[in-house]
Chain A
Amino acid sequence: MDFELTQEQKMLAESAASFAKKTSPVERLRKIRSMPHVEGVEQRHAAKADPRNWEPAVWKQMAELGWLGLFYPESVGGLGLRFFDASLVIEKLGTTLVPEPYVASVVLAGWALLKAGSAEQHAKYLTPMIEGETSLALAWQERGSRYDVTSVKTVAKKSGSGHALTGEKVLVLNGHAADHVVVSARTEDGALALFVIDPKSKGVTIESITTMDASRAAQLRLEGAEGVRLTGGDAQVALEWALDLAAAAACAEGLGIARTVLDMTNAYLKVRKQFGVPIGTFQVLQHRAVDMFVQTQLLESTAILAAVRADEEDADERRRAVSIAKVRLTAGGKYVTQQSVQLHGGIGITDEHDVGLYFKRMQVLCTLFGDDEHHLTRFASREAFATTVGE
């Protein structure tokens, strides 16, 4: 057993931390985030809002640092490292809420492409993304499908050399900005399959929507849109794996958020005075802060567990680890962010204060890629559950 980071991993984490601090502090997200208009309230940054909600130049920079291909094989242009290495970067990106679509494009859509695509398709869709030339999205969710990747009504009819896709996908992360969208659909014989579509092509309607976490997603309508079928691997296996990997990523990002708000709250307890003393002298708040600390420690433990197991071939081990971490994220991550708002008092409820941004992102992370209920049920449905504990 070994929990020490290697020299390379330490450097990777440090460079990601410094990138987050210097290149993309929270202020940057505030400048480019999309905000719904509110009558009568001055919107300082709204005018500069980027329709993508992120910047291609920064994306390219992340590619040059090697981050977009960290855990992809060298054959597709990656660095051939493990997902755990990427989790170190993702955690740091979480500390300042970096808006680039790392999880949506690199982890979720990228992994689905890797597992379901052929070598030729990797070269065409995955490699340009790893190089920072494009970004990707995975459209798997439909109305009412919740977290079931097999609940798919979108259909793919054979048409010429390709397929014509018809259906509706919801809350497609980075779907508003992606150059290629990977879409799940059922073929005429009822099989689940994955297709790549060009979002600018005929029969594709994309409605860009804002999400709670100062980000964007897309509602996708397909009316006979042309799709290229991925032919390198089983679609369901690829989808489930991609979601597990993304859930592990959410846990890493959540850890970054928890650590950040714990530090912010701890600092605030020392400077904010009421009744003539720092509020951090009140024992009830001290113990609340300690419980935030305890939860953050446990989030670290389970984020490591999920990150190490997420790209392992053993699907049982992987599912078990990811579900443990995701259930813990909901319990611990929500506790930490909710208490950070509480301990800031009124200022914690203002849009101006960063604590609310972290709170909202955590809430979103808890629901993304399988919520508490989904992962708890999955964990409890394992065959070994009835008789064993801890294996």
Chain B
Amino acid sequence: MDLSFTPDQEAFREEVREFIRTQMPPHLAAKAAVDGHFEHEEVMEWQKILYRKGWVAPHWPKEVGGTGWDAARRFIFSEELEKAGAPTLSPFGLAMVGPLIIQFGSDAQKQRFLPKILSGEEAWCQGYSEPEAGSDLASLRTTAVDDGKGNFVVNGQKTWTTYGQYADWIFCLVRTNQTGKKQTGISFLLIDMKTPGVKAVPMLTTGHTPAFCDTYFDNVVVPKENVVGPVDGGWTMAKALLGHERTLIAAVGTSTRALIRVKRIAQEHGLLADPAWRGRIARLEIELEALRMQNYRALVGAQLGHAPGPESSVLKIRGSEILQQAMELAMDVMGPSCMAWFTPPGVLSPSEQWIPSAFNYTRATTIYGGSNEIQRNVIAKWILGLPAQA
């Protein structure tokens, strides 16, 4: 039993810190210091900096442009980025479709898509959810019909497509076969957003950011070579994807940062001298520390090559709950000024500026990526072995 990182790992941590300190451009660093909200171009700017350093895909194998880091280094890397408040790179290319193409794609697909995912030249979005297919994803209806001329013709609607308006490509689950169980007959299709008939219509979130879109497909012609893996075999691949990077979903770094910000705001409002406020903040910090230990245990398991064990199944649930509680605490600490909404500079302190918006958006963390209710269903079935629901 040993709770410390090795000197080697600590040295790596220092290297990452030094990199962030020296390589993050001042205008990004200024935003990061107060946890500003980053615009799409700013995120892409940061991606290019990481790309030049060779650090843009920590979880990809070296042969295809990844770092080849072990689980501990990946963890340290992401923890330091989160703690520094660096822009969060879009996960859709780097964390989702990239690994899927690496695992299941053809050589042609690898050569065509991976380099541009790394460089950020092409941005991706995820087309899974539909108006009638959320948690029950397999009931999706968007169709792709073989036109006999080497193409699929796609019709339907995807929804909640995060940053669809900025994306060059979308990876979709589409129905290529209407017979059999609903899980069969689903294919994994890559679609160029510039193809005629594709339309992404942004929607405002409650945080008042245009973070997601409705995406419409009207007779969109897609070459058959854009199917990843076997036709009608998309479901198993899509599920395999969900297992990636489980230890990172606890968002320990993000919550740590949120809590530091809570303390800073509490200091600004003169609340830290009050034992009641200190107690409230302490309670959440203790929850976070428990999660941090839990995350370490999962991480070390991954490091040893164990399949994700029971330790990792709780990370999404607790991680999302704690982040929400941290944002809520930040709102409470702000007091009456938390009602200010996108005010000009000077009304709120820089630390406070994005809290009300982020507080709203953070409610999504228990919904997306498999809602917490679905996560509980999964644990009930696969870990506790409870019988199927009536």
Contact = CB atoms under 8 A, between A and B. Distances in A.
Interface of A: 1-5, 9, 84, 266, 269-270, 277-278, 280-283, 286-287, 289-291, 293-294, 297-298, 300-302, 304-305, 307-309, 323-324, 327-328, 331, 376-377, 379-381, 385-390
A298 B377 contact: no
Contacts of B282: 376, 379-380, 385
A4 B296 CA distance: 12
30 contacts: A1-B2, A1-B6, A1-B72, A2-B1, A3-B296, A3-B300, A270-B386, A270-B387, A277-B390, A281-B386, A281-B388, A281-B389, A283-B377, A283-B389, A287-B376, A289-B384, A290-B384, A293-B310, A294-B318, A294-B379, A298-B290, A302-B293, A308-B1, A324-B289, A376-B282, A376-B286, A380-B279, A385-B278, A385-B282, A386-B263
B293 A290 contact: no
Contact of A305 (B293, B314, B373, B390): B293
B380 A286 contact: yes
Contacts of A323: 286
A9 B299 CA distance: 21
B383 interface: yes
A-B pairs, top 3 by smallest CB distance, nearest first, are A301-B293, A380-B282, A286-B380
A290 B310 contact: no
Contacts of A278: 387
Given A281-B387, A290-B379, A297 B310 contact: yes
A277 B311 CA distance: 30
Contact of A1 (B5, B275, B379, B380): B5
B389 to A, nearest CB: 5
Interface in B299-348: 299-301, 304, 310-311, 314, 317-318
B388 to A, nearest CB: 7
Interface string B1-18: 111111000000000000
A106 B142 CA distance: 67
B244 interface: no
Interface in B272-301: 272, 275, 278-279, 281-283, 285-294, 296-297, 299-301
Contacts of B385: 266, 270
A388 B281 CA distance: 12
A165 B379 CA distance: 57
Given A281-B386, A293-B379, A298 B291 contact: yes
Given A270-B387, A293-B384, 17 more contacts: A1-B3, A9-B1, A270-B385, A277-B390, A278-B387, A281-B389, A281-B390, A287-B373, A289-B380, A302-B293, A304-B1, A308-B3, A376-B279, A376-B282, A386-B263, A389-B256, A390-B289
Q: Would you call the interface of chain B mostly helix, strand, loop, or mixed?
A: helix
A277 B389 CA distance: 10
A247 B118 CA distance: 50
Given A1-B296, A298-B314, A377 B263 contact: no
A326 to B, nearest CB: 9
Contacts of A307: 1
B238 interface: no
Contacts of A301: 290, 293-294, 296-297
Interface in B150-204: none
Nearest to A2: B2
Interface of B: 1-6, 72, 256, 259-260, 263, 267, 272, 275, 278-279, 281-283, 285-294, 296-297, 299-301, 304, 310-311, 314, 317-318, 373, 376-377, 379-380, 383-390
A122 B314 CA distance: 45
Contacts of A380: 275, 278-279, 281-282
A256 B384 CA distance: 18
A3 B286 CA distance: 20
A201 B86 CA distance: 69
A301 B301 CA distance: 13
A290 to B, nearest CB: 4
Contacts of B5: 1
Q: Would you call the interface of chain A mostly helix, strand, loop, or mixed?
A: helix
Which of B256, B291, B293 has most chain A Cβ within 10 Å? B293
Contacts of A289: 380, 384, 386
Contact of B267 (A84, A281, A297, A386): A386
A387 B286 CA distance: 15
A238 to B, nearest CB: 25
A389 B390 contact: no
A125 B290 CA distance: 38
B321 to A, nearest CB: 10
A302 B297 CA distance: 11
A160 B311 CA distance: 60
A305 B286 contact: no
A173 B283 CA distance: 29
A290 B310 CA distance: 11
A142 B178 CA distance: 76
Nearest to B277: A380
A266 B292 CA distance: 27
Contacts of B379: 290, 293-294
B300 A1 contact: yes
B285 A389 contact: yes
Which of B286, B376, B390 has most chain A Cβ within 10 Å? B286
B286 A324 contact: yes
Given A2-B300, A380-B282, A328 B387 contact: no
Contacts of A328: 286-287, 290
A9 B1 CA distance: 10
B389 A286 contact: yes
Given A1-B2, A3-B297, A298 B318 contact: yes
A281 B390 CA distance: 6
Contacts of B292: 390
Given A298-B314, A376-B282, A386 B260 contact: no
Contacts of A1: 2-6, 72, 296, 299-300
Contacts of A291: 376
Contacts of A9: 1
Contacts of A293: 310, 314, 379, 383-384
A317 B172 CA distance: 49
Nearest to A387: B263
B288 A389 contact: yes
Nearest to A295: B314
Nearest to A277: B390
Contacts of A280: 386-387
A266 B384 CA distance: 7
A385 B301 CA distance: 30
B256 A390 contact: yes
A286 B373 CA distance: 10
Given A277-B390, A282-B390, A287 B318 contact: no
A254 to B, nearest CB: 13
Contacts of B390: 277, 281-282
A287 B380 contact: yes
A388 to B, nearest CB: 7
